[in-house]
Amino acid sequence: MSLTLDSTHALTLKSWVTSANEEGCDFPIQNLPYGRFRSIGSQDSLTVGIAIGRQILDLKLAADAPGWSQDVQVPLKVLATGDLNAFMAMGPTVHRSFRVGLSIALREGSSQQQALSRCLHEQSQVLMAVPCHIGDYTDFYTSIHHATTVGKQFRPDNPLLPNYQWIPIGYHGRASSIRASGTDFHRPRGQIKRPNSAEPILEPSEKLDYELELGWFVGKGNDFGCSIPLGEADQHLFGAVLFNDWSARDIQSWEYQPLGPFLSKNFASTVSPWIVTLDGLAPYRVPFTRLTSEPQPLPYLDSQVNREQGAFSITLEAWICTAKMKDEGIPAVRLSKSNTQRSTYWSPAQLVAHHTVNGCNLQAGDMLGSGTLSGPDAGEAGSLLEISEGGKRPLKLPSGEQRSFLADGDTLTLRGYCERDGYARIGFGEASATVLTTKAPF
């Protein structure tokens, strides 16, 4: 685990791709995130690209451009095949040298400008996909504020279970239903038991919710039976995306004991299409701290380096726009805003170390969800379950509507960005989807 800052993070860097130099841009030259795309309406294989301003550098086309150094050409050939997972598995040394080569090629005054300018696509003219193949997905529960608030609703007498402050809690989710931003989904159906009913019934969820999360992607995996020490965990992380783990709370409350979430979670999840790399996030590392009054992590989950720079400062927001708001031209309204430094009880490195301490083998492209990242204060709740207190205090919207949970036609959008004095602002783009009506049964 190390805080590696180099010339690619310099605030003074500008790109010959002029949209990357615009104030407030999510994808300046200091970011350089990876994603996969194809032309709209095309059935071509997915191509790996780099977001730069409002455009995408097509790495398949760029591989034929002159001027690349030898240490860039080798991974570029892999990326040109469309296999981002294979590149992720090559490890942080390769990732870092490739980032330097990309940065040099995209800077103002680059000798490669003329050749690479023919390798660009407008982001608005392509269809983005899930950024890599996700073989496995584990969702964690890293916000103690979310865990406590939700626990009070599900278990009023015992909101925070005794293991929470000792162990990163997680469950294995369903990777096959993870979709890229812009993919709408149908309201799920499942077993629901009403408080005063003797038996459950099968019907569409009435308590559909969003969850404001991050998804951390594994880069280089580990061998079966071998654990990853905390001090090496960063060497196995590639980067992060915004992640919305849509949740049917009424299905969840009936099914979650004794084995945890199942159908309440696996019907759909939404990710932003660009993986912001660990190298891109390096300037925004911050100390990972615990109150001295709280249990301190066991030795395999603790180190001085993790305490000094194990966390990240990432601002996260959730926005809603209902069907009525769209019809009336009312802009989306922000539901919540939080920061990972205030909301995360376990660091990404700790998630990796704990996930593998039993010998579990992670693979390139595996995703670790952070769980809902709610902060301690009002306005920092990362779900409607918390905002509406389980439906007791409906949220009033500018259209005159109220929401305790999501309605059909609602569009929910997550946004995220990093800011720090002396460094460029970088962003994650958006993770957005609209709730559609329930499909006819069977």
CA angle at 214 for the pair 416 and 383, rounded to the nearest 5°: 85
Query: 91 — alpha (psi -120 to 50), left (phi > 0) or beta?
Result: left
Beta strand 212-218 with 367-369: parallel, antiparallel or unpaired?
antiparallel
Give the angle subtended at the CA of 155 by the CAs of 146 and 368, to the nearest 5°.
40
Per the CB < 8 A criterion, the answer to whether 285 and 340 are in contact is no
Three-state DSSP state, 253: helix
DSSP class of residue 135?
A: -
User: How many DSSP H helices and E strands does the chain contain?
Assistant: 13, 26
Question: Which residue in the list 95, 145, 146, 354 is annotated as catalytic?
Answer: 146
Task: For the chain, give the number of residues.
Answer: 442
Contact in structure between 55 and 120 (CB atoms under 8 Å): yes
Please say whether the dihedral angle defined by the alpha carbons of residues 198, 199, 200 and 206, taken in this order, is positive or negative. negative
CB 46 within 8 A of CB 79: no
Instruction: Tell me the CB-side half-sphere exposure of residue 193, using CA atoms within 13 A.
Output: 10
Written as one letter, the residue type at 97 is S
CB atoms within 10 A of CB 71: 14
Per the CB < 8 A criterion, the answer to whether 332 and 411 are in contact is yes
Whether residue 146 lies in the annotated active site: yes
Closest CA to 139 of 245, 240, 259, 264: 245
What are φ and ψ of residue 251, in 5° steps? -70, -40
Helix (H, G, I), strand (E, B) or coil at 306: helix
Strands (E) in 159-235, as ranges, are 170-172, 178-180, 185-186, 189-192, 201-204, 208-209, 212-218
Using DSSP's 3-state secondary structure scheme, residue 103 falls into helix
- Tell me, what amino acid is at 330? I
Q: Which are the catalytic amino acids?
A: 146
